[in-house]
Amino acid sequence: METVSQNACFGGTQGVYTHKSDACGCDMTFGLFLPEDAQDGPVPVLWYLSGLTCTHENAMVKAGAQGWAAEQGIALVFPDTSPRGDDVANDDAYDLGQGAGFYVNATQEPWAPHFRMWDYLADELPALLGREFALDMDRQAITGHSMGGHGALTLAMSLPGRFRSVSAFSPICNPTGGDWGRKQFAAYLGADEAAWAAHDASLLMGERGFDGPVLVDTGTSDQFLELLRPETLAAAMAARRQEGTFRMQKGYDHSYFFISTFMEDHVTFHAEALYAE
């Protein structure tokens, strides 16, 4: 692991690091905010998964999360959204290839050799963080935006006991039923739609739900509502009587102005779960 940068931030440190990833077969970059509390011992962890076209940097510099995390004594992890490099497959479209990993393990060529974001986030990066930093990996929570909201929800529901809480900003709720999902799943996972269901938040909510609190925010003026399909997740949560809150925020769109507006709510929500006895 190599340190790219470290900056003082709200009494703590915002760092950027690179490492060789066995899961993705290339160098990967992530951001990590450590609050001042980490100087005294391991602190809880909140993961933030970003959306299409993003890197580790977008939320790190735009979401306004560090100040709220510093108040709560929580570390923030900002992973990249896909493998990258000259040897990594790509596509001219913004919603496929580099920057659009969709947090799955690809099984199809040319994506399979590198696009293994599920293994990277479920296993490899948590193990690295636990070894290298003052983090309490027994207290983890996860959030994300758009494609990252999809990733946060599917990881949380598929890894029982890993995360104490999950939230999402404008998540892609039903990728098997919309163009933000069907295109990518066909490319990464193949034509058998049965393999897609494990990465659909609405289907997972109906099948198993989440053993903890859920918070979802989506803007009523989100320009991608037809692709996000929020009504499918809302219906699944209601049918399952899932512990959680689903909010449609009037007038807000898909941007980081929306995310930063409600970031305090989400960090506070996760802090309550992370510090609960």
The domain total for the chain is: 1
Q: Which of 37, 38, 53 is nearest to 102 (CA)?
A: 53
Cα torsion for 215, 221, 222, 226, to the nearest 10°? 100
Contact 4, 29 (CB under 8 A): yes
Structure-block tokens of residue 157: 């529901």
Give the active site residues. 146, 222, 254
Rounded CA-CA distance 169/50 in Å is: 10
Structure-block tokens of residue 233: 């997740």
Helix, strand, coil fractions of the chain, as percent rounded to 5: 40, 25, 35
Rounded CA-CA distance 214/166 in Å is: 5
- pLDDT by residue, tens only, the chain of 277 residues: 999 999 999 999 999 999 999 999 999 999 999 999 999 999 999 999 999 999 999 999 999 999 999 999 999 999 999 999 999 999 999 999 999 999 999 999 999 999 999 999 999 999 999 999 999 999 999 999 999 999 999 999 999 999 999 999 999 999 999 999 999 999 999 999 999 999 999 999 999 999 999 999 999 999 999 999 999 999 999 999 999 999 999 999 999 999 999 999 999 999 999 999 7
User: What CATH code is carried by the domain that includes residue 242?
Assistant: 3.40.50.1820
Instruction: Give the pLDDT of residue 277.
Output: 79
250: containing domain: 2-275
